[in-house]
Chains A and B, each alone.
Chain A
Amino acid sequence: MTESSPILSVDRPLVVGKAHAESVVEHDTAWTRLIYVYLACATLWLVVGTLIGLYLSIKFLAPDVDHVPWLSFGRLRPVHTNTVFWGWTSLAMIALVLYVVPKTNQRRLYSFPLAWASLALINLAVIIGGLCLMAGINNGGQEYREYIWPVMAIFAAGVILIAYNLIRTIADRGVEEIYISNWYIMGGFLWTSVLITISYLPFYQQNGISETIIQGYYMHNAVGMWFTPIMLGLTYYFLPKLLNKPIYSYSLGVLAFWTQMVFYTMIGAHHFVFAPTPWWLQTVAIIFSVGMVVTLAAGTGNFLLTMKGSGRTIARSYSLPFILAGVISYFLWSAQGTLEALRSLNLVWHFTNYTVAHSHLTMYGFVVFLLWGGIYGLIPRMTGREPSHLLAGVHFWFALLGYFIYTFALMVGGTLQGMSWILEAPFIQSVRLMEPFWLLRAVGGTMMFLAHLIFAYNLWRMRPLRAKREMPATQMEALA
């Protein structure tokens, strides 16, 4: 057996050597430190938030695993969702924004102290918010609106301060045109500032149904007018930068931007299809959900056509595969959202675990994968220190396979749940049949959590060292 196998030969090793990032290109250590600390805090929340998620997944299989009020499912579930939303994803996203906006505007960030203050505020909100939820102090709201208003006000203050910081940076830009990334990023910040304000003002949510209308608007926009536009904006920077070529079409980006704003805002009511909310509002939401296909096709097409012909570069990079996976996820799982809004399919999937799969497919497969692509693409270029290439690969595959197992289990299980209700079987049947799928979900969740530990280690490997030790003498001279 000296002949090597066709799969694992010398020419085709199991792991491909990845290209190294070029040496340090950023010498602004204050800037590097700011961004790195944002990411370090974010990653702490990732590990904490997903550990809680993993523990919750075990509770579906062993509901009596503990009888501690603070760890009870109803109290802990919003701790998981809010920690990964506002702690991990938001902070990591803001870290990358704090690089991309100054870079594309060719100006230093307007105020570093303000940026540090925002970090402190957001961390504070996540800490107090989590403790309150575990103590049974919540807003009485649904998804992502569980923090009571004083806590959300702290978070909102953090977001608004960054928005101000960014506007001042952009207003003082060193280039004439505002690069498309900044459109999406500022969209995300301005829309979210408005969204939190509208959704936390009480005047028009004084009874059950009026509150439900605001909740539908809020839970939908908190994802799609915060994470989606900012992640797309970041990708409009990182993708061409890492591929070293221009974006396929600038105009497609502009088209997707305006349709995002007009279509996406209208579709929150599709979270309450068949509810006693106004029927016309639900129909409007469903129609614009279908309209989102335009935005999706424009955005994804633009990214994929930019990547066309760069297969080798992507394969040789440890950051670009994350971006490729994120872009494909963006299209697939957002399109899934459109399908779920259609009344005929909503009938089967609404209220089931299918929706849990959907939220993980989009938030994780799309948003988080693009974040990781950006982080692996950027940080080595700022600190001059690379992650373990092999571990970055292990991170990628564990996260990808983990979330596939997690979500496919819940999609199949959720569909069966819906079928069982349609067949008017006793309700407990829909609980019993889920058991194997909940087990698979815990297995996938474990793989995802392991991937997060590996990522945390890699982030530590990329940490900035003191400039004096790190910088070669020649560069020091060049700077002097």
Chain B
Amino acid sequence: MSFHKNHWLLFSVIFFGYIALSWIVAIGPAIWVQDHAHALPGAKPLTPIERRGLQVYVAEGCIACHTQQVRPLKMDAVWGRPSAPGDYAYVKPLDIWHPYAPAVLGSERTGPDLTSIGARQPSEIWQYLHLYNPRSVSPDSIMPAFPWLFKVVAKPPADALVVPLPPTYAPPSGTVVATDKAKDLVAYLLSLKQVPLQVACGSGAK
């Protein structure tokens, strides 16, 4: 009996060995973290509109270029304090098609980190201009424009959210107003702020 001659022995070791290793490095730590990463004091869960905004964020693939994680490194200080596991406690599954928390941490910074974009760019109007065409506020940006989150109307209704575009970026005629999706997304982006970590001196573990 050996691996070379007994295929059931070989395949069983391959199969169950891999499951065991996966428990050690993936499932086990994930369960532990899930049970232990509590929301920070002062953190609030997403409101319904912010949640819908997160859905737009996911659908448009913003995750491909933007991170939401601040590393404990000097160069990352510009984005905020180092991220803690508790910062992501309220990142929750969206619906039956997304039964996992969305992967907001990201893996690339083709664009800037968005951990605290709500604090860094708190202007709603700036956010709308930037989403309609990023070049309108940041000339060297290579971010895609999202004109389909807006619509062009001849005469905006009184309650419409008008985007005051500079002439270069405005459509030839009509006025650009934000759709609900744009409002949701901006609400989500503005909600992205870090909760301060309050560590009082001398209150550490004894």
Contacts and interface: CB of A to CB of B under 8 A. Distances in A.
Interface of A: 59-61, 63-64, 67, 69, 72-75, 77-78, 136-143, 145, 148-150, 167, 170-171, 173, 176-178, 183, 186-187, 190-191, 194-195, 198, 202, 204-215, 217, 219, 225, 254, 261-262, 265-266, 268-269, 271-272, 274-278, 281, 284-285, 347, 350-353, 355-356, 421-422, 424, 427-428, 430-432
Nearest to B31: A204
A191 B83 CA distance: 33
B89 interface: yes
5 contacts: A59-B144, A141-B100, A208-B89, A210-B34, A275-B69
Contacts of A72: 60-61, 144, 146
Interface of B: 3-5, 7, 10-11, 14-15, 17-19, 21-22, 24-27, 29-34, 37, 58-65, 67, 69, 71-75, 78, 82-85, 87-94, 97-112, 133-135, 138, 140-148
Nearest to A64: B145
Given A59-B144, A208-B91, A266 B59 contact: no
B60 A431 contact: no
Given A190-B14, A190-B15, A268-B25, A136 B101 contact: no
Contact of A138 (B5, B58, B74): B58
A215 B24 CA distance: 15
Contacts of A170: 7
Contacts of A202: 93, 99-100
B98 A210 contact: no
Contacts of B144: 59, 63, 72-74
Contacts of A431: 110-111, 140-142
Contact of B141 (A171, A206, A428): A428
B105 to A, nearest CB: 5
Given A141-B103, A431-B141, A265 B18 contact: yes
Contacts of B87: 208, 276
Given A191-B18, A208-B89, A209-B33, 5 more contacts: A138-B59, A186-B14, A210-B31, A213-B26, A265-B21
A321 B105 CA distance: 41
A347 B97 contact: no
A130 to B, nearest CB: 13
B19 to A, nearest CB: 6
A213 B71 contact: no
Contact of B100 (A140, A176, A285, A355): A140
Given A63-B142, A72-B146, A276-B69, A212 B103 contact: yes
Contact of A265 (B25, B61, B108): B25
Contacts of B88: 207-209, 212, 276
Nearest to A72: B144
Nearest to A148: B97
Closest CB pairs A-B (n = 10): A208-B88, A74-B61, A140-B102, A208-B91, A136-B59, A202-B99, A274-B71, A217-B26, A351-B109, A210-B34
Nearest to A188: B14
Contacts of A142: 63, 103, 106-107
